[in-house]
Amino acid sequence: MKILITGAAGFLGSHLCDFLLAEGHEVVGIDNFLTGDPQNIAHLAGNPNFSFIRHDVSNFIFVAGKIDAVMHFASPASPNKNSPYGYPNLPIQTMKAGALGTHNALGVAKANDAIFLLASTSEIYGDPEEHPQKESYYGHVDPTGPRSMYDEAKRFAEALTMSYHRFHGINTKIVRIFNTYGPRMRLDDGRVIPNFIQQALRQEPLTIYGEGLQTRSFCFVEDLIRGIHKLLLSDTHDPVNIGNPTEMTMIELAEKINSMTKNPAGITHIRNMRLGNDPERRKPDITRAKEILNWQPEFTLERGLSNTIPYFKEKMGL
């Protein structure tokens, strides 16, 4: 297949490029480097099956030749307001990537009669009142809250995707991605795993926001990409959660990273930077992915972190 990937220079987009090229597909990547890094795809230069277009997907997308699938990943993704790459600091770009970008990417799929896959997010469930989160849960989202530029853009993107499916008959897929980590996350991304790994490698105390009893469930990037590939080739048009259901508190995560890096500095509790804006619990119900895709994660947290820590070490020059 010839597959168009928007957000190709990002963390997930670049891993997707590698995976699909290894499967023998031809890949066209698009990115404007808003939050991505050219280094993530530098190794693909010269690969005859890979081509790249520097472009903002909020504007009309033109790709020469027939496209068989469009995978729309372009969007800022970090909730951290202390990072210049966090979506709270890129609110208009985030809404445009989710709304106009999704519209343009769907337009490419329609013009080519191609499969369309939307990278959606667990954030469409907001601060969930149902636990774990099933795809049937409508969510608990504040439409004008501090995360609304991301949550509502993705909710709109899902609705637009279903409209193209129902009205135009496009073969669409929606993946709801839960917290994913791995090599190629930005050092200044601001999400918890990059922060904790770097603090641990510098032998500093890990900064826990608030009490640290809030939970997340972390998926290693290789598991996620394998699941997304299965979804791309599946028959379903319903949203599918992909993530790792092993839930832990931020204190448990910090202790694991400190023990793996032999960091003697422990943890420190700081004011929760996200007060009123930090989901208390998050864990995917992956029954649908198991049943429809025959997929489940294989990497334990320890194995995933062992594959991630050396990347940060090298990037930090240690």
Residue 248 is classified by DSSP as: E
Q: Does 90 bind ligand UDP (CB under 6 A)?
A: no
Cα separation of 168 and 162, whole Å?
Answer: 10
* Number of Cβ atoms within 10 Å of the Cβ of 235: 7
Residue type, 35: T
Considering CB distances under 5 to 8 angstroms, the limit depending on partner class, which of ligand NAD, ligand UDP, none binds residue 3? Answer: none
Show Cβ contacts of residue 18 under 8 Å, excluding neighbours closer than 6 positions. 44
Q: Does 192 bind ligand UDP (CB under 6 A)?
A: yes
Q: What single string gives the DSSP state of each residue in 19-87?
A: HHHHTT-EEEEEE--SS--THHHHTTTT-TTEEEEE--TTS-----S--SEEEE--S--B--TTSTTBG
User: Which 3 state secondary structure label does DSSP give 180?
Assistant: strand
Region 217-256 residues binding ligand UDP, contact defined as CB under 6 A? 250
List interacting residues with ligand NAD (CB under 6 A): 6-7, 9-13, 30-36, 56-58, 73-77, 93, 97, 101, 119, 121, 177, 179-180
Beta bridge pairs of residue 14: none
CA–centroid distance for 151 within its chain? 13
State the nearest-atom distance from the C-beta of 190 to ligand NAD, in Å. 11
Q: Does 214 bind ligand UDP (CB under 6 A)?
A: yes
Cα separation of 297 and 246, whole Å?
Answer: 10
125 in catalytic set: no
Q: x-or-dash pattern for ligand UDP, window 94-133, by CB under 6 A?
A: ----------------------------------------
Compute, in degrees rounded to 10, the torsion defined by CA atoms 120, 166, 6, 284: 20
State the nearest-atom distance from the C-beta of 18 to ligand NAD, in Å. 13
State the nearest-atom distance from the C-beta of 276 to ligand UDP, in Å. 12
Q: Does 258 bind ligand UDP (CB under 6 A)?
A: no
Q: Does 40 bind ligand UDP (CB under 6 A)?
A: no
Q: Does 277 bind ligand UDP (CB under 6 A)?
A: no
Cα separation of 242 and 225, whole Å?
Answer: 9
Q: Does 198 bind ligand UDP (CB under 6 A)?
A: no
Considering CB distances under 5 to 8 angstroms, the limit depending on partner class, which of ligand UDP, ligand NAD, none binds residue 12? Answer: ligand NAD
Residue 184 is classified by DSSP as: T
If the CB atoms of residues 116 and 125 are measured against ligand UDP, the closer one turns out to be 125
Considering CB distances under 5 to 8 angstroms, the limit depending on partner class, which of ligand NAD, ligand UDP, none binds residue 198? Answer: none
Choose one: 6-14, 189-197, 233-241, 289-297; the region binding ligand UDP (CB under 6 A): 189-197
| Catalytic position from the list 87, 125, 150, 181 | 150
Q: Does 216 bind ligand UDP (CB under 6 A)?
A: yes
Residue from 123, 121, 297, 310 nearest 220 by CA: 297
Q: Which one among 207, 234, 249, 296 touches ligand UDP, defined by CB under 6 A?
A: 207
If the CB atoms of residues 108 and 192 are measured against ligand UDP, the closer one turns out to be 192
Cα separation of 259 and 70, whole Å?
Answer: 41
Cα separation of 40 and 273, whole Å?
Answer: 29
Choose one: 13-21, 158-166, 187-195, 283-291; the region binding ligand UDP (CB under 6 A): 187-195
Compute, in degrees rounded to 10, the torsion defined by CA atoms 178, 179, 181, 185: 110
Which residues are known to be catalytic? 150
Q: Which residues bind to ligand UDP, rule: CB under 6 A?
A: 79-80, 179, 191-192, 195, 207-209, 214, 216, 250, 274, 278
